Amino acid sequence: MGKISPVAAKYIIHATIDIDGVVDRPDVIGAIFGQTEGLLGSDLELRELQRSGRIGRIEVNTDTRSGKTQGSIDIPSSLDKAETSIIAAALEIIQRIGPCTAKIQTKSIEDVRVSKRSFVIERAKELLRNLMSSSMPDSQELADEVAYSVRVMEVQEYGKERLPAGPAIDDSDEIIVVEGRADVLNLLKHAFKNVIAMNGTSVPETIVDLCKKKVVTVFVDGDRGGNLIIKEISSLTDIDFVTKAPDGKEVEEITKKEIHKALRSRVSGEQAKLEFAKEETQPSHFGKRSQFFKPVARPSVRPTQFSRKPLASQEQKQKFKEMLENLIGTRGAQVLDQKLTTLGKVPISELATTIKSLNNAYAVIFDGIVDRDIAKAAEIANVKFLVGMDSKIRPNETRVSVLTVKEI
């Protein structure tokens, strides 16, 4: 006898049966086939339909109580809607089953595809909930992760001591000296490529040599160990600038904002030595930022006569400050006209040459230190303002208005 797979059935006929008497399941099935035979024509003959697999196995469930039988009939069908409806209606003509009177009533025709569709929808909802509840990184996180991986790969070994360093040590005029490899990784993560580690508390010979050739900023942890490192380096060589991580924090764990803030607040190596000298005669406040970053008055020198310098307005200072903050860590420079419109951006290594070739530059903002060469080039080009991280020249040594982070 043919049988339709439950997967292949498109519809299921659901009917109920009431019998005045006691009958068995085979009696009900026999009555269905026998009393519908020849009624619907050869194309809808139940035996032939079942043999060809277009009608599935007829399921009959009965329950006999007090001499009466009640039950249900389920017939799976792969016929179309019209043919299935005809089969369902034909069941209701059956009036006797065996010796007993009977009544069959079709309750419904279930569209199996609707049931499957409902299952698909509910299952899809469940899968979507699971997907949404899982932590998926957004595009920025993915980009940061990829960038971090690339920057970690940029760590190289420098010098005979094979010190961890960024890729721009040789190319940069300024470098940042930190304590260990983890500090280098954190600064590389935030795009500082001119960084090198001491790899311990002792000062390697490579670091001493670099201090003689380049502008060096020593960036240490915000603890007593950081102070000791600064003392040791200062005793072996001259360092240009010193800065520390926030109190109680290490360079390897601070954020990009804290790194920029620390670098903007750096002090000269001479000022650090003065602070350490005070420690020997009075209680130390070196670790406290308010004392550590207190400006030291510069000795007075004989003024050179220059024409009156332009003074920057508050609006101009605010504009300069925003631009300088955006340049931190880029080792770049931005040239502006009198309307403070950007004329161009160049690396610091090309700044002096670029300034000399311009005739309408009004202000130059750069991530570096104002020195005599840059100031001289600015004077030749009639630049009014030089804005940098710090300055190696005194205000009375140039007719260009020099502004630093502390002044804006």
- On whether both 183 and 276 belong to a single domain, the answer is yes
Write out the two tokens for 258: 């804290």
Residue 5 lies in a domain: no
- On whether both 325 and 281 belong to a single domain, the answer is no
Over range 20-36, report the average pLDDT.
89
- DSSP conformation letters of 262-323: HHHT-EEHHHHHHHHHHHTTS---TTSHHHHT---PPPP-PPPP-PPPP---HHHHHHHHHH
Residue 1 lies in a domain: no
Answer left, alpha or beta for residue 133, where phi above 0 means left and psi between -120 and 50 means alpha: alpha
Last residue of a domain, one of 226, 259, 292: 292
Question: Is the confidence at residue 204, as pLDDT, over 70?
Answer: yes
- On whether both 240 and 322 belong to a single domain, the answer is no
Q: What percent of the chain has pLDDT over 90?
A: 24
- On whether both 146 and 281 belong to a single domain, the answer is yes
Over range 197-211, report the average pLDDT.
87
- Beta carbons within 8 Å of 53's beta carbon, 6+ residues apart: 2, 3, 4, 8, 78
CATH number of the domain to which 211 belongs: 3.40.1360.10
180 burial level (CB within 10 Å; 0-12, 13-18, 19+): middle
Tell me the per-residue pLDDT of 253-311, one tens digit each, with 9 for 90 and over.
999 899 999 999 898 888 887 877 776 555 544 444 444 444 444 444 444 444 467 78
- On whether both 177 and 74 belong to a single domain, the answer is no
Residue 309 lies in a domain: no
pLDDT of residue 85: 93
103 secondary structure, DSSP code = E
- On whether both 277 and 336 belong to a single domain, the answer is no
pLDDT of residue 286: 44
User: Which is nearest to 12 in space by CA: 109, 113, 124?
Assistant: 109
201 burial level (CB within 10 Å; 0-12, 13-18, 19+): exposed
pLDDT of residue 329: 78
Question: Is the confidence at residue 73, as pLDDT, over 90?
Answer: yes
> CA-CA distance, 382 to 310, in Å (whole number)?
12
> CA-CA distance, 290 to 141, in Å (whole number)?
36
pLDDT of residue 144: 66
- On whether both 321 and 287 belong to a single domain, the answer is no
> CA-CA distance, 286 to 266, in Å (whole number)?
13
215 burial level (CB within 10 Å; 0-12, 13-18, 19+): middle
Which of the pair, 215 or 154, is modelled with greater confidence?
215
Over range 10-33, report the average pLDDT.
91
Tell me the per-residue pLDDT of 102-128, one tens digit each, with 9 for 90 and over.
999 999 999 988 888 888 999 998 888
Q: Are 157 and 165 in contact (CB under 8 A)?
A: yes
Q: Where are the alpha helices (DSSP H) in 135-193?
A: 139-153, 181-189
Averaged confidence pLDDT in the chain: 83
Per-residue pLDDT band for 199 (boundaries 50, 70, 90) equals confident
Question: Is the confidence at residue 345, as pLDDT, over 80?
Answer: yes
Residue with tokens 């003689």: 212
> CA-CA distance, 264 to 285, in Å (whole number)?
20
Residue 305 lies in a domain: no
pLDDT of residue 398: 86
Q: What percent of the chain has pLDDT over 70?
A: 86
Residue 336 lies in a domain: yes
Domain count, the chain: 3
pLDDT of residue 196: 94
Over range 152-156, report the average pLDDT.
75
Which of the pair, 238 or 310, is modelled with greater confidence?
238
The domain in which residue 214 lies consists of 142-292
pLDDT of residue 354: 81
Residue 304 lies in a domain: no
Q: What is the CA radius of gyration of the chain?
A: 44
- On whether both 336 and 394 belong to a single domain, the answer is yes
Per-residue pLDDT band for 51 (boundaries 50, 70, 90) equals confident
Q: Which helix (H) or strand (E) holds 16?
A: strand 11-19
- On whether both 155 and 288 belong to a single domain, the answer is yes
> CA-CA distance, 335 to 173, in Å (whole number)?
20
- On whether both 187 and 275 belong to a single domain, the answer is yes
Which of the pair, 370 or 357, is modelled with greater confidence?
370
Q: Which helix (H) or strand (E) holds 76?
A: strand 68-77
- On whether both 28 and 68 belong to a single domain, the answer is yes
Residue 121 lies in a domain: no
pTM score of the predicted model = 0.39
CATH number of the domain to which 363 belongs: 3.40.140.20
- On whether both 166 and 45 belong to a single domain, the answer is no
Residue 301 lies in a domain: no
CATH number of the domain to which 42 belongs: 3.30.70
Q: End-to-end distance of the chain based on CA atoms, in angstroms? A: 95
> CA-CA distance, 323 to 232, in Å (whole number)?
36
Tell me the per-residue pLDDT of 380-397, one tens digit each, with 9 for 90 and over.
888 999 999 888 888 788
> CA-CA distance, 265 to 181, in Å (whole number)?
23
